[in-house]
């Protein structure tokens, strides 16, 4: 009987404050010469309150082996906190640029703010946490969609 191992990796990075990143997966492969690690099977990445799930994750590192970019694919989904609001979403590919603190969702991109139930749909959604900028892009003349409720004041 072969037991599957869950590999835990702990990365400490400094962006503006030291933040622990915990990565879990069923399988792990690393090539230090290329500066990349490939994790597959029930991948979960936690950084503070932010969570990323996928079936495959590639972690790119700098020469000091600190993560600089994450690329999640195959059932990529996430939950992130931005300025006190909780967002969750999914897409064909999810990219996180650690240095710039920018999230990018490509292909069938969807993001929802949980409390207000506001939703964004498009081919590509970019969220820049440092600059507090959101971009939604679509291709093939397929429109980006925004869904939100208008609250009426009864006064």
3-state secondary structure of 132: coil
pTM of the shown model: 0.73
Helix %, strand %, coil % of the chain (to 5): 0, 70, 30
Among the residues of the chain, which ranges form H helices? none
Rounded to an integer, what distance in angstroms lies between the CA atom of residue 102 and that of residue 82?
11
**Residue-level pLDDT, tens digit, the chain, 155 residues:** 222 222 222 222 223 234 677 888 999 998 888 999 999 999 998 888 889 899 999 999 998 888 899 999 998 998 988 778 888 899 999 998 988 888 899 998 888 888 888 888 888 888 887 887 778 887 766 665 555 555 544 54
Domains, the chain, ordered by start: 19-147 (2.60.450.10)
């Amino acid at each position: 009987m072969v037991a599957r191992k869950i590999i835990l990796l702990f990365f400490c990075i400094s962006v503006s404050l030291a933040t622990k990143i915990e990565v879990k997966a069923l399988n792990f492969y690393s090539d230090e010469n290329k500066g990349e690690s490939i994790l597959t099977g029930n991948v979960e990445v936690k950084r503070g309150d932010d969570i990323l799930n996928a079936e495959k994750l590639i972690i790119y590192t700098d020469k000091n082996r600190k993560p600089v970019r994450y690329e999640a694919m195959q059932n990529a989904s996430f939950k992130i906190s931005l300025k006190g609001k909780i967002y969750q979403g999914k897409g064909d590919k999810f990219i996180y640029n650690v240095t710039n603190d920018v999230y990018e969702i490509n292909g069938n991109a969807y993001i929802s703010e949980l409390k207000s139930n506001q939703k964004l749909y498009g081919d590509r959604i970019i969220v820049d946490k440092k600059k507090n900028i959101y971009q939604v892009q679509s291709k093939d003349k397929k429109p980006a969609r925004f869904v939100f409720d208008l609250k009426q004041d009864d006064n």
